[in-house]
Amino acid sequence: MFRRPLIRYLAIAAVLSLVQTIVLAGMIEKRASVLRSGTEILLKTAPVDPRDLLRGDYVILSYDVSTVPVALIKGEKPQPYELAEMNVRLKPGVDGFWVIDEASFARLPSVEGTVVMRTQPFRTYALPVDDGGSLRVDYGIERYYVPEGEGRPIEEERNEGAVSIAVRVSADGLAQIRELRIDGKPLYEEPLY
């Protein structure tokens, strides 16, 4: 009498566990795929307001390419308050760090020697109208988790301009941090799985 409901509950629990495992494996594989086959670029970090230093065990990162000059945005712009993503084309700079070449709210075609990084979705409250303005964007690589207690020295180095980040960018613009460097020397490296 109790055997049938028990078997049914066990079967439901097994199916739910399997679905959860598949979802988690898919998330891990998506990140690993970018790290394995993405194009590697080097980004220069920018200082962050020291009042927002280490929260827990991660380092807050900001990049020069996170500030997009309005003059470099091509094509149509979204309506105010619309949720949008921006595609930002990066090219190697003279110092080895990648810089913004152009940006667009539409897809950018592939160009040899460049990569296109996609921003996180954001609300376009009011875009600066003059060419002297800029737009601040995030790429989903603004936090880097470190072993407990090791974040503050890294943040001090970051504020001195000594931290750079090697990033892998997939063909569809998804970015993943590959390596954290201090004075050009690798400190933390993500496994390629």
Q: What residue ranges do the domains of the chain occupy?
A: 1-37, 39-188
Q: Can you tell me the distance from the alpha carbon of 119 to that of 37, in angstroms, rounded to the nearest whole number?
A: 19
Query: Is the predicted pLDDT of residue 53 greater than 60, yes or no?
Result: no
Q: Is the pTM of this model over 0.85?
A: no
For the chain, what is the mean pLDDT?
A: 83
Picking from 193, 41, 5, the residue whose alpha carbon sits closest to that of residue 115 is 41
Tokens of 177: 């941090």
pLDDT tens column, 62-121: 899 999 998 899 988 888 788 899 999 999 999 999 999 999 999 999 999 999 999 999
Question: How far lies 157's CA from each of 18, 143, 164, in Å?
Answer: 44, 15, 10
The pLDDT, as a whole number, for residue 103 is 95
Identify the residue whose tokens are 């400190």. 187
Which pLDDT belongs to residue 129? 59
| Torsion on CA atoms 22, 26, 28, 33, rounded to nearest 10 | 150
Tell me if 55 sits within 8 A of 142, measured CB to CB: no
The confidence score (pLDDT) of residue 107 equals 94
